[in-house]
Amino acid sequence: MTAPRIHGRVVAALMLFAGFALLPLVAWLADDPFLVVIGARILAYGIAALALDLILGFGAMVSFGHAAYLGFGAYAVAILSRFGITDLGLHMAAAVVVSAGFALITGAISLRTRGVYFIMITLAFGQMVYFFFTSLSAFGGDDGTGLRQRSTLLGSSVLEHDLVFFYVTLAVLMALFWLAHRIVGSRFGRVLTGIRENPTRIEAIGFAPRRYQLTAFVISGCMTAIAGVLLANQAEFVSPAFISWHRSGELIFMVVLGGAGTLSGAIAGAVTMIVLEEWLEVFTEHWKLVFGIILVLMVLYSPRGITGIIERLMRGRS
């Protein structure tokens, strides 16, 4: 990946962040506070898509069970809050620790396989987590459970205010994008990209591909768990629906739609998918069919997603 292209994608991400920062002003001018609510949801899914892109776009690992980590994050909020632990930092720390352990074990097993077998085994692990949380009758089982309040921040309930929650979520997204960008630009990231292109050659020059892939898998799971914490707070509700394989599929759609292997594209994919969902639902309850057609056309005519379209337009202008 060339330096100008990397620079361009960082600029694209900064423009996205600037647009997000101005969204509350747009909501105020339009007298539509729901824009801030849906904006926070987009930001949280943007974190999850960014995390998945780290392994899908750069490591060629198609995880169909990544929603499990959303579940760990969401249920960390519900379970700890039930025992009087309401701090956002502690919720995130607990979610990261559990997710790291689960990703380390399942990743070590999954990475013994490749291709469709890797996809299926990650799906199997994801479904195990789904049925585990479905069995938790104390937390509503399949119906889920509502949160009495959002997480506290340094002992304060400021996150109850949608505007504050929106900007905190934006700050978390920006921090994790910076972390992912640093990882991708490091030697570790270059080796990971090399493994995607030719694992045999990488192994021949002295690197252990599985070790790098497993590390990336764990990092991605931890980042996704943070997204789960924020999604639970945004919805003020937790259920196994956070963990279903449909949700994992949606995350993959976001990455593919935005452009795999771009980081900023994953965030753009989350924006596009959720905006399309909200818009298409106005016209038809079968919006997923329409979205499926859009995704097929995107894959056929722009395999690099939205990022590919923008890059072609920029080349055409130059």
Q: Summarize pLDDT for 180-219 with one digit per residue, the tens.
A: 999 998 999 999 999 888 888 888 888 888 999 999 999 9
Cβ atoms of 71 and 133 closer than 8 Å = yes
DSSP state of 244: S
pLDDT for the residue numbered 155: 85
Does 3 score more than 80 pLDDT?
A: no
pLDDT for the residue numbered 226: 97
Between CA 60 and CA 47 the distance in angstroms is 19
Between CA 11 and CA 34 the distance in angstroms is 28
Residues 6 or more apart in contact with residue 272 via CB below 8 angstroms: 254, 257, 258, 306
Does 285 score more than 80 pLDDT?
A: no
Q: Which residues pair with residue 146 across a beta bridge?
A: 237
Between CA 273 and CA 258 the distance in angstroms is 9
pTM for this predicted structure: 0.92
pLDDT for the residue numbered 173: 96
Cβ atoms of 258 and 310 closer than 8 Å = no
Phi and psi dihedrals of 50, rounded to 5?
-60, -45
pLDDT for the residue numbered 6: 55
Q: Which residues of 218-237 are buried (b: 16+ CB within 10 A; e: fewer)?
A: bbbbbbbbbbbbbbbbbbeb
pLDDT band for 291, please (50, 70, 90 cuts): confident
pLDDT for the residue numbered 292: 82
Q: Domain spans of the chain?
A: 3-245
DSSP state of 160: G
Phi and psi dihedrals of 140, rounded to 5?
90, -5
Helix (H, G, I), strand (E, B) or coil at 153: strand
Q: Summarize pLDDT for 249-272 with one digit per residue, the tens.
A: 999 999 988 888 888 889 999 999
pLDDT band for 5, please (50, 70, 90 cuts): low
